[in-house]
Amino acid sequence: MKKDDTAYNTTKKSWFGKVYHWFVLAAGLAMLGAFLIPEIQRADQNPDLSYLAPNSKVLKTKAPAIRISGIDFVSDHVRDLHQKLSYQMDFICSERADDVIFAFQFGSNMNNKIRLRDDHIFALCRPGSTLVVGNAEIIDKSEDFVMCQEEYAGILNQFKRPNEVTIKGIDIDTWEVIEFTTQNSKEACIVQHAIDILESKWV
């Protein structure tokens, strides 16, 4: 006599169907979480930046600025963060000329504590245009010198510097490596002053 296992098969299919649906639901939630969590983390890591006035205490406590690495350079997310900073630096520059703005003059409020940007980036403020440069380094300098009167947050220094310099760095707005030669002795002073401050060599 053939065994009737219809009831057994029905129960088995019903149980498998329930487990299968839960498995699909769990997998879907896991994929959704994997998609959303990086965006949540990015939002936490990139709250709105605020401009902070020059503060002499920062110069005495800050470590050398952090350069944009090769891995950073190929990241769209890192590029977007730096270009957002560049936009804000350009806005501050529009209120002044023949000046320099630093990345560490911008910070975000994280857990009621201001965290300053630590990027090796400065904005050269010029009438009608702003050049925002990352990873700036001097690759050529003139043999003629000039005395530079330099100031930051009320601290005054005087340096004998090359009258003209050529720098290599990343143009933050175009996200391209550029070479740039200063247009006059004042600009040469500003650029060298900026690099020294970012590398914690000015004070």
Residue-by-residue pLDDT tens, the chain, 203 positions: 555 555 555 555 555 556 666 666 666 665 555 444 443 344 344 458 899 999 999 998 999 999 999 999 999 999 999 999 999 999 999 988 889 999 999 998 877 788 899 999 999 999 889 999 999 999 999 999 999 999 999 999 999 999 999 999 999 999 999 999 999 999 999 999 999 999 999 98
Q: Report the predicted TM-score, pTM, of the whole model to 2 decimal places.
A: 0.76
Q: Collect all residues with Cβ–Cβ distance below 8 Å to 114 and sequence separation of at least 6.
A: 50, 52, 107, 108
Beta strand segments in 154-202, E: 155-162, 165-171, 176-181
| Structure tokens given for 106 | 């911008």
CA gyration radius for the chain?
A: 27
Q: Are 118 and 66 in contact (CB under 8 A)?
A: yes
Residue environment code for 25-55, b if the CB has 16+ CB neighbours within 10 A, otherwise e = eeeeeeeeeeeeeeeeeeeeeeeebeeeeee
Torsion of CA 26, 31, 34, 40, to 10 degrees: -90
